[in-house]
Amino acid sequence: MTGKVYLVGAGPGDARLITVKGLDCIKKADVLVYDRLASPRLLKWMKPGGQKIYVGKLPDRHTMKQEEINQLLVDLALEGKTVVRLKGGDPTIFGRVGEEAELLRRHGIYYEIVPGITSAISVPAYAGIPVTHRDMASSLSIITGHESPDKLDHSIHWDKVTNATGTLIFLMGVAKIGYISAQLIKHGRAPETPVALVRWGTRADQETLTGTLADIEAKVKAADFQSPAVIVVGEVVLQREQLMWAEALPLFGKRIVVTRARSQASELVDWIEELGGEPYEFPVIETRMPEGAEQKAGIAAALASLEEYDYVFFTSANGVEFFWRHLAELKVDIRRLHRARIGAVGPGTAAALAQRGLVAEELPGRFQAEGLLEAFGPRLQPGQKVLLPRGDLAREWLPDKLRELGLEVTEVDTYETVVTGEDDIELLKLLEEKRIHAVTFTSSSTVRNFISILQRMGLEDPLPLLAGVKIACIGPVTEQTAVEAGLTPGLLPEEATIEALVQELCRWNETMRLK
């Protein structure tokens, strides 16, 4: 049976600017064919086992000719696959979607065109430039600039285009900015007409350069301003001084790697996005239920004796989550825990307990095992029984100290932490291009696994690639692990919480801006 092809606009770069339908298409794709201007974060929404094929064009080379891309879509569909051709911006605006669709139609292959948010309007908006304004411009033109002067003159009627609309938007024309400016002045635009170039708009790399038709070429050369960029010509550019908003956000300009397990990353990702940064999800750990028979038997035995424990200490939100999964799987009633005092390390762990109707008796001032022992120390008596539901990589400090005090400690590994199976070539590219600004670590295992996965991807020594990247650790234990791995941590929040970590990132970015 013949497959189907979805020709999807990915939007201008910010992964959140894809349409709902576009995201639905990605989620069901067997194969994703994408180019350079599509956000790498969108690739992570593919179903497990989905194939990714990069066909993007770079300024100095062509990875695949357009005719070859067209044929590739046909061949994949004829294999019975659901194919998504993911294109930056909107596929119908200089996206050559017509050529792709025509060949699909000739082969009798069903396809859909899924519009996207074009960079022509969204990129200026992120720079604080509305492309129309009641008092300045009531119309706009979108013009290609990615051609030689001869081709530009052939495709653009300068005498008509120059004054046809209030705002002119040129896509992909940075290298030709001098010629474009000269033609517009020659055909009637005033030399003092405002111009803005917005590079990598809506992304962490966003840069804006403003000038006039008379001086913009010199400014571009002086700043070594490179493509890809959107060029805006017209009085609306003056609105930027009043309306620019993205640059004012606390984490603007920062691409931050989030290494937490995907099931836990949403809070940190949401914070970064809300504050204007660009999170790059690179989960290096996965948490799962134990698979060994001996481990399962140990958990079952511990939960069968809940009424015997004097204390249950939870050291992470994961410990809470998996403890409840085991209760459900083994059909153990939580009310059997009625005599135990409940302790939690950190507000996140306490919140996870509160969501399940249990209030931690006391929250230590320090959000690690040492703080928990300080809080309960005076009450702990020899012979009392303690249950520690934890992960398989948890430190032995707490159970060792409890045993030194004469308590009977039952440790159960309620979950396992494993290295994720995903490699990410896009991350390597960003690191090589110095386009990663910070990496966040929320546990020792994220540090170790991050280094391990980079080595697995072919980096014998990842440390040089991380030079200049700010290393942010959620707590002192994680920080120490980073140091032992050869990293140089630069950010450590006063409290070991996600919110405090984000605040520390904001303070760092503010300091960078003031330099």
Catalytic residues: 35, 57, 172
End-to-end CA distance of the chain: 61
Residue showing tokens 């941590």: 489
H/E element holding 368? none
Q: How far is CA 227 from CA 39, 91, 293, in A?
A: 16, 19, 57
| Angle of the 97-106 helix axis to the 66-78 helix axis, nearest 10 | 40
| Angle of the 317-330 helix axis to the 293-303 helix axis, nearest 10 | 90
Ordered DSSP codes for 49-60: T-EEEE--EETT
Spatial contact of 422 and 283, defined as CB atoms under 8 Å apart = yes
Q: Which of 283, 309, 461, 490 is nearest to 386 (CA)?
A: 309
93 Cβ partners below 8 Å, 6+ apart?
118, 120, 142, 171
Q: Please give the single-letter amino acid code of residue 187.
A: H
Which tokens hold the place of 92?
A: 């119908």
Query: CA-CA distance, 257 to 427, in Å (whole number)?
Result: 9
Q: Please give the single-letter amino acid code of residue 441.
A: F
Query: CA-CA distance, 234 to 138, in Å (whole number)?
Result: 11
Q: Which of 50, 40, 2, 28 is nearest to 427 (CA)?
A: 40
